[in-house]
């Protein structure tokens, strides 16, 4: 009998009004879940819009301080910093230089806002003349030469006050190399958020405009992962977990919710997801096109990333989420 077997189960009872819906809601979002990306460059008095990402800007250091003040007032306290240096070179030496754009940013921000939690994106693509994420040898990024430069970069970031480092270059063994370098320099307290499962994604298009980091030849498929692969993502995450990553990241987020879910189930450490530039731009574009309500879709998108298993969401929407209003 149907009634006996299903006990007259009627899930709609718990959807009758907003009060009961909120009592049974399984996932909630909070501003404390978010990390807000900031693009910082040389010069003064600069707040340059990025046309493919309405609401996102490239700031000079003096201007990024205003932005951080606005964010802190909204309750956003964690930031990931991307630098665009004045001079690029073959190896991206600005990344380990005391006068580098990130080093000067860390100094200035920490002096004014010691409570701001500053995560540095640790990579080379914005700093190299060729736009690749490391040292080029025989037309490809050389893994182990790049590790040597990564060590210099993280120690320099830590010296200038970074609270956490987030290596995004997908070099093999980057976590152990960075952990050893930090510990060797006395920075045992600085956590590593590993971009562990980072795919060679076309969703990064707008970011590369923002960060001026498009490779001048080839693409990133010799180091970032093939979007077709799931087992390989588990291998990458296992390696980073074993090497001591404090947080594992999956990137992009929306097209890779299955990977976020696996990460959440598999590791007893926090999982981060990067809601990338293309995901952000699509919402803005579709809202302008009139086909969706961008605020509602933003809320649903962020919720889906949290529900899939992300404890931390890196998102350009952080401010707009708090304001519940899009800048178009």
What are the angstrom distances between the C-alpha of 254 and each of 166, 202, 206, 220? 20, 13, 16, 20
Active site residue 251: yes
Q: Which is nearer to ligand PBG, 69 or 145 (CB)?
A: 145
> Taking CB under 6 A as the rule, does residue 53 contact ligand PBG?
no
Nearer to ligand PBG, 160 or 198 (CB): 198
Count of residues near ligand PBG by CB under 6 A: 10
Burial of residue 285, with CB atoms counted within 10 A of its CB: 0-12 exposed, 13-18 middle, 19 or more buried:
middle
Helix, strand, or coil here: 186? coil
* DSSP calls for 55-94: T-EEEEHHHHHHHHHHHHHHT--EEEEEEE-SS-BSS-GG
Contact 235/170 with Cβ under 8 angstroms? no
Binder of ligand PBG out of 34, 96, 207, 241 (CB under 6 A) = 207
123 binds ligand PBG (CB under 6 A): yes
Residue number of the CB closest to ligand PBG reads 207
Which residue among 79, 127, 204, 223 contacts ligand PBG (CB under 6 A)? 204
Pick from 33, 121, 163, 240: which binds ligand PBG (CB under 6 A)?
A: 121
62 conformational bin, left if phi > 0, alpha if psi -120 to 50, beta if neither: alpha
Q: Which is nearer to ligand PBG, 213 or 243 (CB)?
A: 213
SS3 245: coil
The residue from 35, 76, 125, 178 that contacts ligand PBG (CB under 6 A) is 125
The residues that touch ligand PBG, with contacts defined as CB under 6 A, are: 121, 123, 125, 168, 204, 207-208, 213, 276-277
- As annotated, the active-site residues are 198, 251
């Amino acid at each position: 009998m149907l009634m006996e077997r299903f006990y007259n189960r009627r899930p709609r009872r718990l959807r009758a009004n907003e009060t009961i819906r909120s009592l049974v809601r399984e996932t909630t979002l909070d501003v404390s879940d978010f990390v807000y990306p900031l693009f910082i460059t040389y010069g003064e008095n600069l707040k340059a819009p990025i046309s493919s990402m309405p609401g996102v800007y490239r700031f000079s250091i003096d201007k990024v301080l205003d932005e951080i003040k606005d964010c802190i007032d909204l309750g956003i306290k964690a930031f990931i910093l991307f630098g665009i240096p004045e001079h690029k070179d073959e190896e991206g030496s600005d990344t380990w230089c005391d006068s580098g754009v990130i080093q000067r940013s860390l100094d200035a921000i920490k002096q004014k806002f010691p409570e701001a939690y500053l995560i540095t994106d640790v990579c080379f693509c914005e700093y190299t003349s060729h736009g690749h994420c490391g040292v080029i040898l025989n037309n490809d990024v050389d893994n182990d030469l790049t590790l040597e430069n990564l060590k210099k970069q993280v120690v320099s970031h830590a010296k200038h006050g970074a609270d956490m480092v987030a290596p995004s270059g997908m070099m093999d063994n980057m976590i152990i190399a960075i952990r050893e370098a930090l510990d060797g320099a006395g920075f045992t307290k600085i956590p590593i958020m590993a971009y562990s499962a980072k795919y060679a994604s076309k969703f990064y298009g707008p970011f590369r405009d923002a960060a001026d980091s498009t490779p001048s030849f080839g693409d990133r498929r010799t180091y970032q992962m093939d979007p077709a692969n799931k087992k390989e993502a588990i291998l990458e995450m296992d390696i980073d977990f074993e090497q001591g990553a404090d947080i594992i990241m999956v990137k992009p987020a929306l097209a890779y919710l299955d990977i976020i879910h696996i990460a959440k189930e598999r590791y007893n450490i926090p999982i981060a997801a990067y809601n990338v530039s293309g995901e952000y731009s699509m919402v803005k574009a579709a809202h302008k096109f009139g086909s969706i309500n961008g605020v509602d879709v933003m809320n649903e998108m962020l919720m889906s990333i949290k529900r899939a298993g992300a404890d931390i969401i890196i998102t350009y929407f952080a401010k707009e989420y708090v304001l519940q209003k899009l800048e178009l």
